[in-house]
Amino acid sequence: MMREVSRRERWGLLACYVLEATALAIWIGGLVVIIAAVIPAVFNALGASMPTAGRLLARIFDGYNRLVIGAMVTLAGASAWRLWVSRQRGRAEAAVTRVELTLLAVMILVALLIIVVLGPPLVVRQERLFAAQDEIARKVAFEDFFQIHRMVRGLYVLNLGLGLVLLGAKIHRWMGRDQTHQ
């Protein structure tokens, strides 16, 4: 049986929601800023120096990925706490929907694929491209680099879309329109 949430628990849920919204704002907003402002600025300022621009962007994405790891931990921790409050303390207001959990799980898997699996070889291939001396070696290195780069870019955009859907699902839930508590 679900009981009404106490004032203390309500403040705890509010803090949890603020942390979740902040983590998603960092995850989604960080990528939007990089795509819309940082990448064009780097190439406009350093366009003639492709190796410098490429290395700078690699460092920028390294920093962004560290922020994403923090956001993943925050979102997973907040979801776990809300699940606990919902199930152990009988608080329907704290429930986490299956949609939220699924979206978050997929986002985390995609981010880990980018950060752990594809990111390191992408940096190696980028350096090979910058070190290539003759035209044939440069062409081969270019194709090799962009083979992974296209996947990584697509995965970042996928996570951006998933993050927007997750944010919408959370806002929908917080507004009290999702009465299923699934």
Contact (CB, 8 A) for 37 and 59: no
Contact (CB, 8 A) for 148 and 126: no
Q: Cα(83)–Cα(76) distance, rounded to whole angstroms? A: 10
Q: Cα(95)–Cα(13) distance, rounded to whole angstroms? A: 10
Q: Cα(152)–Cα(134) distance, rounded to whole angstroms? A: 27
Residue 90 lies in a domain: yes
Residue 182 lies in a domain: no
Residue 87 lies in a domain: yes
Residue 134: pLDDT over 70: yes
Confidence of residue 147 (pLDDT cuts 50, 70, 90): very high
Total tally of structural domains belonging to the chain = 1
- Give residue-wise pLDDT tens across range 29-45: 999 999 999 999 998 99
Q: Cα–Cα–Cα angle for 61, 123, 128, nearest 5°?
A: 145
Q: Cα(66)–Cα(12) distance, rounded to whole angstroms? A: 26
Residue 72 lies in a domain: yes
Tokens of 100: 């939220």
Residue 179 lies in a domain: no
Residue 53 lies in a domain: yes
Burial 29-66 (b: 16+ CB within 10 A, else e): ebbeebeeebeeebeeebeeeeeebbbbbeebbeebbe
Residue 41 lies in a domain: yes
Residue 52 lies in a domain: yes
Q: Which domain holds residue 87?
A: 7-174
Whole-model pTM?
0.86
- Give residue-wise pLDDT tens across range 85-102: 888 777 777 788 899 999
